[in-house]
């Protein structure tokens, strides 16, 4: 039996046509398969491997921590140096009120925790979210994901969730004194790489201030340097009450977190104590990897590099077949003129050893999220292939 058939037999599938690449090893911007092929990973494992695969400093931190200890206790009970040092460094880069970190294992778990925290702190139940958003596939996160095709099979979900149009001032009076939280992506990812309008985001923040609702930013895709700032909200200078992060934070290790004020987090300590717990959240190996990742991001020119990637992509990907290139930094979406062209281009590039991605919400948008370590030559090679493929398949 082939490895692909073995894979399909014992690994639960999420689609009827998995890519099925058998990875032997990954390094830098490349994935190497067991049959001797290599692919430029131009989606960074879906916005995870921003420093590339197996960055030497991240690997070294992982090896060092493994020699000390692995899991020792559920989150929050023991002092573990990697957790502590990472939380100190992370909060030092954030506004003063984002002062405490709750570590979890993934992005959807970060959003789940944030929703619970907002409800516990405010004593309210109403949630406001936005159409075409994506916050994860667990029940709470799915409840605030604005895409019926993913929600409908699992109804009923959380009650009292209200969906508004993203970047529209209409309906913002739905944020009222019954609202526990408003959750949004500063840049909608799966919804089509749509940045927030600054005036709209300001008004959302103002409505939350007026009503006592908490504002949650889901920066699971946009965080840790992908947009040219450490976090996308720093482009707007409009801060959240709770910040959710994951994906690129631990250099390829599983990790997520939600970050807020001590006063808000205190609501988790009482009535009852331990009312939100996680066994593996902040695993010391992941925390060590996250510390090394953040130290490297802050010491290098990666944030500047994200902006350079944006400039080069938008300058080179122009012409017939291309409707728009939108996004910020290295979180970009290439809008093509038809789904047939999009499918042909993604397939053609795959056959040429370039791994691209479609978003969940659009069959005419190609996700572009290269590792921030990509060289100019590698970037130019991908862009030239993309341009030629578009011309060939129009």
Same domain, 386 and 290: no
Q: How many residues comprise the chain? A: 394
The range of the structural domain enclosing residue 235 comes to: 57-299
Are 261 and 98 within 8 A, CB to CB?
yes
pLDDT the model gives residue 357: 85
Do 67 and 154 fall within a single domain? yes
Q: What residues contact residue 270 under an 8 Å CB cut-off, 6+ apart?
A: none
Query: Residues near 188 by Cβ (< 8 Å), separated by ≥ 6?
Result: 130, 132, 133, 134, 166, 194
Q: Kindly state whether residues 104 and 161 are assigned to the same domain.
A: yes
Task: Show the tokens assigned to 219.
Answer: 């920066």
> Which residue's structure tokens are 């408003």?
182
Half-sphere exposure of 264 (CA within 13 A, CB side): 29
Q: For the chain, give percent helix, strand, coil, nearest 5.
A: 40, 20, 40
Query: In the chain, count of helices (H) and strands (E)?
Result: 13, 17
Which distant-in-sequence residues (6+ apart) come within 8 Å of 169 by Cβ?
200, 203
Q: Please report the pLDDT score of residue 19 as a whole number.
A: 86
246 CB-side CA count, 13 A: 27
If asked whether residues 234 and 347 sit together in one domain, one would say no
Last residue of a domain, one of 269, 299, 329: 299
Same domain for 289 and 319?
Answer: no
| 325 and 207 both lie in a single domain | no
pTM for this entry: 0.97
At 175 the pLDDT is: 98
Whole-number Cα distances in Å, 367 to 310, 327, 363: 13, 10, 11
Question: What is the side-by-side strand order in the sheet with 357-358?
Answer: 322-328, 331-336, 365-368, 357-358
Q: Which residues of 267-284 are buried (b: 16+ CB within 10 A; e: fewer)?
A: bbeeeeeeebebeebbbb
Residue 215: which region, alpha, beta or left (left: phi > 0; alpha: psi -120 to 50)?
beta
Which token pair is 268? 């988790």
Please name the residues in contact with 338: beta carbons below 8 A apart, sequence gap of 6 or more: 364
Query: Is the same domain home to 261 and 326?
Result: no
The CATH code of the domain that includes 70 is 3.40.640.10
280 in the same domain as 251: yes
CB 229 within 8 A of CB 330: no
- Provide the pLDDT for residue 359: 61
Q: In a 10 Å sphere around its CB, with 0-12 CB exposed, 13-18 middle and 19+ buried, how is residue 78 labelled?
A: exposed
CATH number at residue 383: 3.90.1150.10
Same domain (yes/no): 64, 164: yes
Smallest CA-to-CA distance from 111 within 220, 193, 190, 186 is with 220
Same domain, 288 and 306: no
Contacts for 106 with CB less than 8 Å, ≥ 6 apart: 136, 246, 254, 255, 256
Q: Which parts of the chain have pLDDT scores under 50?
A: none
Is the same domain home to 103 and 242?
yes
Q: Of the candidates 299, 325, 356, which is a domain's last residue?
A: 299
Per the structure, how many domains does the chain have? 2
Q: Do 330 and 363 lie in a common domain? A: yes
Residue 327's DSSP bridge partners are 332
Last residue of a domain, one of 280, 299, 318: 299
């Amino acid at each position: 039996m082939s490895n692909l058939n073995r894979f399909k037999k014992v690994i639960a599938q999420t689609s009827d046509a998995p890519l099925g690449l058998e990875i032997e090893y990954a390094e830098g911007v490349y994935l190497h398969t067991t049959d001797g092929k290599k692919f430029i990973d131009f989606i960074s494992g879906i916005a995870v491997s921003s420093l590339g695969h197996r960055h030497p400093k991240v690997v070294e931190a992982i090896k060092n921590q493994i020699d000390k200890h692995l899991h020792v206790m559920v989150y929050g009970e023991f002092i573990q140096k990697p957790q502590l040092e990472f939380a100190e460094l992370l909060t030092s880069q954030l506004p003063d009120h984002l002062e405490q970190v709750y570590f979890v294992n993934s992005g959807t778990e970060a959003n789940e925790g944030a929703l619970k925290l907002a409800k516990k702190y405010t004593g309210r139940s109403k949630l406001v979210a936005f159409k075409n958003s994506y916050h994860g596939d667990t029940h709470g996160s799915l409840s605030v994901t604005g895409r019926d095709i993913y929600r409908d099979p699992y109804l009923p979900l959380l009650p009292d969730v209200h969906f508004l149009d993203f970047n529209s001032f209409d309906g913002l009076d739905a944020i009222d004194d019954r609202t526990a939280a408003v959750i949004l992506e500063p840049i909608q990812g799966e919804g089509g790489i749509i940045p927030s309008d600054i005036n709209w985001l300001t008004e959302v923040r103002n409505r939350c201030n007026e009503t006592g609702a908490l504002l949650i930013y889901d920066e699971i895709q946009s965080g840790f340097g992908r947009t040219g700032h450490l976090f996308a909200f720093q482009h707007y200078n409009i801060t959240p009450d709770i910040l959710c992060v994951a994906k690129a934070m631990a250099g390829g290790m599983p990790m997520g977190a939600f970050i807020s004020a001590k006063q808000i987090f205190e609501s988790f300590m009482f009535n009852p104590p331990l009312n939100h717990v996680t066994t593996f959240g902040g695993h010391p190996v992941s925390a060590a990897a996250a510390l090394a990742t953040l130290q490297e991001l802050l010491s290098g020119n990666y944030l500047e590099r994200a902006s350079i990637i944006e400039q080069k992509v938008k300058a080179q990907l122009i012409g017939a077949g291309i409707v728009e290139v939108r996004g910020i930094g290295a979180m970009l979406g290439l809008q093509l003129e038809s789904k047939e062209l999009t499918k042909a281009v993604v397939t053609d590039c795959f056959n040429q050893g370039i791994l691209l991605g479609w978003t969940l919400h659009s069959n005419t948008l190609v996700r572009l999220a290269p590792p921030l370590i990509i060289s100019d030559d590698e970037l130019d090679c991908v862009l030239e292939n993309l341009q030629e493929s578009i011309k060939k398949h129009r």
